[in-house]
Amino acid sequence: MTIEEKTGKTLAELAVSDAQGVESLFAEVRAAMEVGRQNLVARGASTEKEREQMCKALRDRWLARKNGLLAQIDEYWLKPAARELKPAVGRQFNALRQAAAWLEVPALLDDVPLKRDATVEVKGVSLEASVGQVTASSIRDLHDLTLPGYRRPVGSLHPVTRMQREIEEVFLNLGYGIEEGPEIESVYYNFDALNIPETHPSRDDWDTLYIDSKTLLRTHTSPVQIRAMKKYGAPLYIIIPGKCYRHDNPDSSHSPMFHQIEGLAIDKDITFADLKGTLDFFAKKLFGEKIRTRFQPSFFPFTEPSGEVAINCTLCDGQGCPVCKESGWVEVMGCGMVHPEVLRNGGVDPAKYSGWAFGLGVDRYALMKYGINDIQLLFQSDVRFLEQF
């Protein structure tokens, strides 16, 4: 049965009764369409008038409003299709209509060569264009280009990466640079240079993953503060994103590997007001203009004075809920004025310069932002989870 004959019968008459049958029937149609086009392209035309006539004839065979093959398919296959087959037929018909755009006359005119132009001059050498040599058998040998291709899944950015970039964006717009440092760090940079005394509990084997007595997996991104000060001197405005490691058992809010972003601003006359202003601006940029920030005193060995920043809980709007432990506030980062000893260790004169710094956990921001209740989900590489982002 020719395609013309087939498109003049209903699906019931063609004994097509399931989606698979519909698919293969349409595949046959697409193949016939492509062969028709390829034959025309292979044959070429000897005059422009002939070319136009040939293209129009092919176009009309398929696309003419009355009696074109697509109109027939609409009339005999789609309209009377059984209810359960209709979605499949509709889908296939739409795809076919899209593919048929190649049969419009302007597209065909572009593809069909004029034979008298088949001899072209390239750098003075006359070349016979191969158009005229394409034969029916070489067309048959072509792969069927109308078959659907392999669909390769497109990846997306990990929620932590997205969160990190969003935070970076705020500070990049403020003129800060991005600095990175090694994850395998010396005890000196990780602790000593940051004014963390030998007796500090964070130095304990139970909190820090040591490689040997002098090297460890960095427990925070702060060592890069010292490295950057030594490298660039003052003034300095940077943020430091990266992975950190602690001797933590994995649970819903802890992971032995986590992501931090550290910020550091060093210049003349930097005060706590700069710290407050910048971090309040940052919180509003990230969580919305209505966010309020709260600064509370705290203690870190590398800043003096030190503080903790909280924002009003976005879930309960400050009314109190389980997430904010009924307080109405969620702590989002630690901060403080850089300790003079730390400046000195970075080679910056604390009599001339002052600075402020902050540190935040990117993973927890991602949990807040995307409403995730378990940090472990971020690191299990489960595609079903990750493809939601």
Chain residues that interact with Zn ion, rule: CB under 5 A? 313, 315-316, 321, 323-324
Return the number of the residue (112 or 324) whose C-beta is nearest Zn ion: 324
Return the number of the residue (178 or 315) whose C-beta is nearest Zn ion: 315
Is 76 within 8 Å of 8 (Cβ atoms)? yes
Residue 238 to residues 51, 125, 178, 241, 268, Cα–Cα distance (Å):
66, 61, 6, 10, 16
Strands 177-178 and 236-245, by their bridges, are: parallel
* Residue environment code for 114-144, b if the CB has 16+ CB neighbours within 10 A, otherwise e: ebeebeeeeeeeeeeeebeebeeeeeeeeee
Least separation in angstroms between residue 234's CB and Zn ion is 40
Return the number of the residue (162 or 294) whose C-beta is nearest Zn ion: 294
Q: Which residues are registered as beta bridge partners of 186?
A: 215
Least separation in angstroms between residue 325's CB and Zn ion is 8
Return the number of the residue (228 or 310) whose C-beta is nearest Zn ion: 310
Residue 349 one-letter amino acid: D
Least separation in angstroms between residue 306's CB and Zn ion is 25
- Using Cβ positions, the residue closest to Zn ion within the complex turns out to be 313
Does residue 297 have a cis peptide bond before it, meaning omega lies within 30 degrees of 0? Answer: no
Least separation in angstroms between residue 373's CB and Zn ion is 14
Residue 172 one-letter amino acid: L
Least separation in angstroms between residue 252's CB and Zn ion is 17
Return the number of the residue (278 or 312) whose C-beta is nearest Zn ion: 312
Least separation in angstroms between residue 371's CB and Zn ion is 13
Six-digit token string for 250: 């994995």
The separation between CA 37 and the C-alpha centre of its own chain, rounded to angstroms, equals: 39
Return the number of the residue (23 or 331) whose C-beta is nearest Zn ion: 331
Return the number of the residue (207 or 317) whose C-beta is nearest Zn ion: 317
What's the CA gap between 309 and 321, in Å, rounded? 19
Return the number of the residue (95 or 315) whose C-beta is nearest Zn ion: 315
Count other Cβ atoms within 10 Å, centred on residue 76: 18
Least separation in angstroms between residue 253's CB and Zn ion is 16
Least separation in angstroms between residue 316's CB and Zn ion is 3
Does residue 235 have a cis peptide bond before it, meaning omega lies within 30 degrees of 0? Answer: yes
What's the CA gap between 165 and 169, in Å, rounded? 6
